[in-house]
Structure 1
Amino acid sequence: MSTHQHNFTERFEFAGKAKTLSLVGIVLGVLGIIYGFLSGEQNIQRTFSNLLLGSYYFVGIGLAGVFFLAYQYVAQAGWSVGLLRIPQAFARTLGIGAVILIVIVTAGLLTKHHIMEEGKEVLAPYLYAHWATPGLTTPGSENYDAVIAGKAPFLTIPFFFGMLIILLGLYTLFGRLLVNYSNNEDVLGGMLNYNKSFKISAIFLVIFGFTFPIYAFGTIMSLEAHWFSTMFGWYNLAAIHVTGLAVIGLTLIILKQNGYFSWVNENHLHDLGKLMFGFSIFWTYVWFAQFFLIWYANMPEETVYIYQRWEPEYKFWYWLNIGLNFVAPLFLLMKNDDKRSLNRMKMVCIILIIGHWLDFYQMIMPGTIEKTKTFDILEFVHCALIFSGFAGLFTYLMLTALSKFESLVPKKHPFIEESLHHHI
């Protein structure tokens, strides 16, 4: 394969069916949100929960794009250069996703409703009621909770918002820098911008590694503030990373089937498949370890988290979660030939995208809709509408960002030739 065989001035044009479908998804999502807020108290709670789920998932994919870019630069990987524009487009969506998440969390915390708690009526927020309900940390209050009071330095609204704004701001900044350096590299050539990308990636990975568990603890684990797991941050990171790889893979395959990324071949697909396979196994390891540590350390007070997800309303979804996120990639991607097949990889990407949405659903819903656990066809449709809204918005923003690159390949990246001639 030689460089001149490929059109490196090729740009992505965002128009036609792709733009129409993304806008339809956004409209369906808006309709789902309006329905949720206008159809009774129970559905308002579910709508806030679904909005948190959708925004956390949205931000997670953007974060996975930045994470992918960073460890490719630090590893000095050459195979992935030809497809770096896709995670770079993910990184460009992160800022908007972060703003949406913060707005939803703010609305869920500040909007309160009356609930019955242990026989008395309590005014609680729609989100984070387990620690943000007034009086939980006030000695002498009828709502006083000694466990939450012990965690009060962390579980306060100022600390919570400070954590979200600072961490998401930092992650967004690093993503922007990596994209800007790559664009500058295409204009200037040389090693200057590549070296900057390497350094900023190393800094990002250190900061991200230490702070992402805090982000996951605050945003998701604190929904059930009595419970605690030191594995939860890594469990979330594994889930977000696999989801991001699946969305990168699906985007790449669909674009390739539509005539783009001609320089990407089955060898690149094989390496992407290996990452999806390996991190699906790692996700399963952390998923099991989280349960195993509770059992092995003999902490019966922590089993409530697992017990809630074994109740009849969630038990089927609990096992389906394992089937989609472990069993499916294990058997569908085990052989080398499976990872080199466009259709097989496309199917696995779709399974993992749905599977990890269900994974996050299981993390969020039992702690937010514990008073009304019914899951009927109407609730399924409502969830699907809101999910389609976030999917449509992400697709619209990501493909818009992709269309703004002067070229679909970082043509002056120092390892471009290695990527073009990548062979396994």
Structure 2
Amino acid sequence: MGTHHPHSFDERFEFAGKAKTFSLVAIVIGVLGIVYGFAIDTHDHHAVRTFSNLLLMSYYFVGVCVAGVFFLAYQYMAQAGWSVGLLRIPQAFARVLGVGVVLLLIVVGAGLFLTHKESHEGHEVMAPYLYSHWATDGLTTEGSPIYDAIIAGKSAFLNKPFFYGSLAVMLLLYTWFGKLLVDYSNSEDSLGGMLNYNKSFKMSAIFLVIFGFTFPIYSFGTIMSLEAHWFSTMFGWYNLAAAHVTGLAAIALTLSILKENGYFSWVNENHMHDLGKLIFGFSIFWTYVWFAQFFLTWYANMPEESVYFYKRWEPEYKWWFWLNIVLNFCAPLFLLMKNDNKRSFTRMKIVAIVIIIGHWLDYYLMIMPGTMEQHREFGLTEVTTFVGFVGLFSFVMLSALSKFESLVPKKHPFLEESLHHHI
């Protein structure tokens, strides 16, 4: 990384040096951790744990990338000018969404179709490593010793072909829209004019409608169905809030680090202030949905609903449960309440790191109590898988960023507004 002259719109990002080395080392650590989980310790519960961590991190990867597409789309729809100078970062997220999609489909497919021996209500069955609550053979077959009427009632949605097929279609749609928005921006740099901006506006409108209706279904299937007896109509918006605020934090962190290394000279504390306001606001929204989902379930005193939270109040998870609120609500609330904090690149970088770790914990609490009902552990597998995926995301995202001809969309119609943004 090098220092460039201020406002040189022809500058390109060079992905080399420590950034590349650290990301490759992190990938190696992750691979070794996954190999340990699958090959060195052959107990089935360790394989389930490794699959669960892979699901967590591939879902997280996709969430951050799709948040980049979401950010681009609502910036176009709002005809926002302030963000133009930093759009290359969410565009880089959109460019690598396909990598996350492939990983998630591989993890879900392997976890769904590979099986192991498991005890189910006193019967030994061959259950998948993931989604055993609904995808184990016999659960929907009348007369089977493990027949489950509740799961049978949900089988129109929770069956392997529909589940996996619909997941693939939704993810490929998100990837396609992200690619379109990036391609239009690159064409705009070459051709100028309003043609590509108008295309971006139109496709953003279509994407937001599709995304709004399908993202809850995507999260219902991928994560909520891990505990298929339980459901929450708020779960989709809870996951959307988590993905969005994590994506915003990743944008802020990337921007802060690149700014420290001499890039994005046209981005200033006013742009960071607006990013900070979005992170602050959507952290509050995440907390609102979290509280509503938790409090209403408890207040209604419905055993079939409250069992979800009962699991997360058992000794292995209870302190994680409260730490989740501290990291994802209290930290953004108190650290970003002052305007001066939102305008500081250093403080925003700290908040972004807290949120990225905090929402990893958020996903951990969504997944692990449902998949690891016995042999609950936390240790090397969780840490190395997280480190590996952080390295992978950094490597592919920064590689994608380095392929842009310029770090600013030079012929975006609102570029001047971004350059003179002041609040």
TM-score, structure 1 length as denominator? 0.97
Instruction: Tell me whether 86-95 or 384-393 shows the greater mean CA deviation.
Output: 384-393
Output the CA distance in 1 between the equivalents of 2:328 and 2:97. Answer: 24
Q: Which residue of 2 aligns with 1:96?
A: 99
Do residues 52 (structure 1) and 55 (structure 2) align?
Answer: yes
Structure 2: gaps of 5 or more residues:
none
Q: Which residue of 1 aligns with 2:36?
A: 35
Q: Which of these residues, 202, 215, 218, is aligned with residue 218 of structure 2?
A: 215
Q: Which of these residues, 145, 157, 160, is aligned with residue 163 of structure 2?
A: 160
Secondary structure class of the residue paired with 1:114: strand
Output the CA distance in 1 between the equivalents of 2:27 and 2:113. Answer: 25
Contact 2:121 2:146 in 1 (8 A): no
Do residues 386 (structure 1) and 395 (structure 2) align?
Answer: no
Superposed displacement of residue 295, structure 1: 3.5
Q: Which residue of 1 aligns with 2:204?
A: 201
> Which amino acid is the alignment partner of residue 229 of structure 2?
H
- Equivalent positions of 1:226-237 (< 5 A) are 226-237=229-240
For residues 221-259 of structure 1, the C-alpha deviation after alignment (integer angstroms, 9 at most, x for no partner) is: 000000000000000000000100000000000000000
Do residues 290 (structure 1) and 293 (structure 2) align?
Answer: yes
Q: Which residue of 1 aligns with 2:414?
A: 415
Output the CA distance in 1 between the equivalents of 2:184 and 2:302. Answer: 49
Output the CA distance in 2 between the equivalents of 1:36 and 1:232. Answer: 29
Q: Which residue of 2 aligns with 1:9?
A: 10
Do residues 18 (structure 1) and 19 (structure 2) align?
Answer: yes
Superposed displacement of residue 389, structure 1: 1.0
Contact 2:6 2:265 in 1 (8 A): no
Do residues 238 (structure 1) and 241 (structure 2) align?
Answer: yes
Do residues 281 (structure 1) and 290 (structure 2) align?
Answer: no
Q: Which residue of 2 aligns with 1:341?
A: 344
Output the CA distance in 1 between the equivalents of 2:381 and 2:215. Answer: 30
Output the CA distance in 2 between the equivalents of 1:422 and 1:339. Answer: 15
Output the CA distance in 1 between the equivalents of 2:122 and 2:141. Answer: 20
Output the CA distance in 1 between the equivalents of 2:166 and 2:295. Answer: 29
The alignment-based identity, stated in percent, is 75
- Equivalent positions of 1:21-170 (< 5 A) are 21-38=22-39, 39-41=41-43, 42-170=45-173
Superposed displacement of residue 111, structure 1: 1.2
Output the CA distance in 1 between the equivalents of 2:300 and 2:49. Answer: 34
For residues 249-292 of structure 1, the C-alpha deviation after alignment (integer angstroms, 9 at most, x for no partner) is: 00000000000000000000000000000000000000011123
> Which amino acid is the alignment partner of residue 46 of structure 1?
R
> Which amino acid is the alignment partner of residue 405 of structure 1?
F
Secondary structure class of the residue paired with 1:303: helix
> Which amino acid is the alignment partner of residue 419 of structure 1?
S
For residues 170-215 of structure 1, the C-alpha deviation after alignment (integer angstroms, 9 at most, x for no partner) is: 0000000000000000000000000000000010000000000000
Output the CA distance in 1 between the equivalents of 2:21 and 2:193. Answer: 40
Output the CA distance in 1 between the equivalents of 2:187 and 2:288. Answer: 40
The RMSD of aligned alpha carbons is 1.0
Output the CA distance in 2 between the equivalents of 1:243 and 1:397. Answer: 18
> Which amino acid is the alignment partner of residue 42 of structure 2?
G
Do residues 322 (structure 1) and 322 (structure 2) align?
Answer: no
Output the CA distance in 2 between the equivalents of 1:301 and 1:215. Answer: 23
Structure 1: gaps of 5 or more residues:
none
Aligned residues, how many?
417
Secondary structure class of the residue paired with 1:26: helix
Contact 2:226 2:371 in 1 (8 A): yes
Superposed displacement of residue 69, structure 1: 0.3
Secondary structure class of the residue paired with 1:371: coil
Contact 2:77 2:205 in 1 (8 A): yes
> Which amino acid is the alignment partner of residue 119 of structure 1?
G
TM-score, structure 2 length as denominator? 0.97
Superposed displacement of residue 119, structure 1: 2.1
Q: Which of these residues, 270, 275, 278, is aligned with residue 273 of structure 2?
A: 270
